[in-house]
Chain A
């Protein structure tokens, strides 16, 4: 594909497979993070793999693009939290790029770190893992790593020069667009001071932002302009032959009410 408007003559395509969902419950973590597909330098790169609960959605999103998991040749894992790694086993044939600091830390996570599965090394076992140095580098033409520690020990995002603008793939260093509005990181339990510096750094590194658990957005005069919409439908049965409670979580309209069907 040619890169119109790209002086360097390269092209990076960013394709949003699954938008992150900024939702929380008192009963479980949603963990639905942004999953992206990057096409660059002849590679098809999956950016994070998501929690197990999105497995059918991930496979469907790939299928909708004429792809199957085996067609993914590279997986970029921003960090080794459960909700970014649980589908890694679908990509056993791929080259896995992940920060060395994350990989080394994962051998023995802190006892109070509920984000990193103590068995994440078993998830990565036998895979073709390339560890990323603790220094920023150009991984592929137009694709640079961005060190964003704090949410986790060694999270790395990407800055992508599409030829027209710079996109910041910040993962959970920018948990949602709310972090940009408030200027404070939402989920920063590992190292709050570093997380604050990383949020500031991410927001200063580009024009378009891909948060870990929200839709991509631009900032205009401090306001968030979202670049994608989503709609989820949930259904909770009250009783076997009774009414369900249906809940739409949607940004497509303002209708977002719990109603009896």
Chain B
């Protein structure tokens, strides 16, 4: 018998790429433990109505979320923090300081994110506090100035310190370039902290060795090129592709 996991993924991230636009398919997870409800990251704005719908399906009112942890403040993680009227917004104090004046060369941090966040009840943290019973924050800088993760039992919600299993397997930052050189150290450290990683842009996996995914995924995309015709639908997914025969 395994205990019910306190982690409920609301969005499973994917390391998808497109030739012209940013995909930003990031991980969002609900944490329920000890009578509390926390959210780890909030996704891009493009998640908003789907995030609201998925919480509703789980019977979670946005007002019940008491804490929102922002692993970092990129466009694809912090855009929906305002949906939770009773939540403390927890982020690293260095990330907040950066959000107030992002570098103009920074292609992932909106110039207005600091002002948007300051509308909310912010709780900047430093060090590695336990912010709820059984939830300890860990500092994993490098992808952004103040990236953090959350350790929950044997699992680490890693944010983009671990973007995907491929980076974990390579021990290197390949999927997304980091903000500075600490990203590689933080990746290495993240992999020593837990048995299960919830990456920022991939399905959760066991560190192993061997690395193995816990979940499948499927995305349905509907589009049309003939306005007089029906929608066409493509399903993109792993379709139980959990065999790792090709892994080293």
Taking the complex as formed, is B169 at the interface, i.e. its CB lies under 8 A from any CB of chain A?
yes
Task: Pick from A3-11, A142-150, A172-180, A199-207 the stretch touching chain B.
Answer: A172-180
Whether B107 lies near A55 (C-beta < 8 A) is yes
Contacts A52-B75, A119-B82 given; does A177 touch B227 at CB 8 Å: yes
Report chain A residues within 8 Å CB of B112. Answer: 88-89, 119, 122-123, 125
Whether A181 lies near B46 (C-beta < 8 A) is no
Taking the complex as formed, is B232 at the interface, i.e. its CB lies under 8 A from any CB of chain A?
yes
Bound complex: CA A51 to CA B112 (Å)? 14
Task: Pick from A20-28, A38-46, A152-160 the stretch touching chain B.
Answer: A20-28
Bound complex: CA A35 to CA B107 (Å)? 19
Bound complex: CA A27 to CA B27 (Å)? 11
Whether A53 lies near B165 (C-beta < 8 A) is no
Taking the complex as formed, is A228 at the interface, i.e. its CB lies under 8 A from any CB of chain B?
no
Whether A21 lies near B115 (C-beta < 8 A) is no
Per DSSP, chain A at the interface is: mixed
Report chain A residues within 8 Å CB of B246. Answer: 239, 241-242
Taking the complex as formed, is A161 at the interface, i.e. its CB lies under 8 A from any CB of chain B?
no
Name the interface residues of B100-140: CB closer than 8 Å to any CB of A: 107, 110-112, 115-116, 119
Interface residues on B, range: 35 or more
Interface residues on A, range: 35 or more
Taking the complex as formed, is A237 at the interface, i.e. its CB lies under 8 A from any CB of chain B?
yes
Bound complex: CA A119 to CA B164 (Å)? 31
Whether B116 lies near A28 (C-beta < 8 A) is no
Bound complex: CA A177 to CA B229 (Å)? 11
Whether A251 lies near B225 (C-beta < 8 A) is yes
Give residues in A with beta carbon < 8 Å to B: 21-32, 51-57, 82-83, 86, 88-89, 92, 114, 117-119, 122-123, 125, 176-178, 180-181, 214, 223-224, 232-242, 245, 247, 249, 251, 256, 258
